[in-house]
Amino acid sequence: MTANDPKRTFASAMTRESAIRARALFALALVLTGCNPPLVYDPQQPIAPNINDRSAPDLELRVYYNATRFDSVVKPTEAFFFAPYRCIYVSNPFRVVVAGTDLDGGISYLNIGSPDLVPTAGAIIATPLPDVPTQVDDPSSPNVTYPNPGMSPGSHTAEVRYYTGGSPPGRPFGLATLQVSFDFGGKSVAGISARVENTSVSASTSAVDGYFVRPADAAHVPGSACTPP
């Protein structure tokens, strides 16, 4: 086949046309993507509640065994409740973060608690901040309020409420996190639990329990495994 062969000329023209067409389709895809609503990746972006959502929210629990490093457990997708039955040594005090994700109807509530330890009141941080600065534990006693995020009097559970469906309803978010700190205060072991809720009226809760921590010492460095009680 020579350089001036009609077949080669035709093939080269088709190659150039295919490349031009591919670039045009790519440009069109970019334009169309810009016209569609983006997926919720920004934790500051609220989303519409969905009472008909039948899926449970995603949940991740992070237990920081020192200032920057953590051990993480993720609730399985098809489960509503997860008990990892895991135990690690942590520095004291230590930090715990629960992250809830639900792009179908938004996260309405998160909590972190321990039957053995009380969260440090001044170290409860929710991201993003909820619209309503106070919450009630019992709707039948609306005069008993406490900070949002915060703890009800006498409780061992830190919580944040984003959406209640009432007035004002607040706004749910596709991604929300709650962070707390604990001090062992002489205790030798503690259990940690967390819960996340979305805005649906069915299958709205995901929970994790059965995660244990012990205070690190000279013989047990932070992050090493321990025996659950």
pTM of the prediction?
0.80
Neighbours of 106 (CB within 10 A): 28
Give me the pLDDT at residue 35, please: 44
Give me the pLDDT at residue 115, please: 97
Give me the pLDDT at residue 188, please: 97
Give me the pLDDT at residue 169, please: 80
Give me the pLDDT at residue 41, please: 59
State how far the alpha carbon of 120 is from the alpha carbons of 62, 114, 141, in Å: 17, 12, 25
Pick out the chain residues at pLDDT < 50: 2-3, 6-15, 18-38
Give me the pLDDT at residue 144, please: 79
Give me the pLDDT at residue 193, please: 98
How far is residue 146's CA from residue 134's CA, in Å, rounded to a whole number? Answer: 6
CA 135 to chain centre: 21
One-letter-per-residue 3-state SS of 57-114: CEEEEEEECCCCCEEEEECCCCCCEECCCEEEEECCCEEEEEEEECCCCCEEEEEEEC
Q: What is the C-alpha end-to-end distance of the chain, expressed in Å?
A: 81
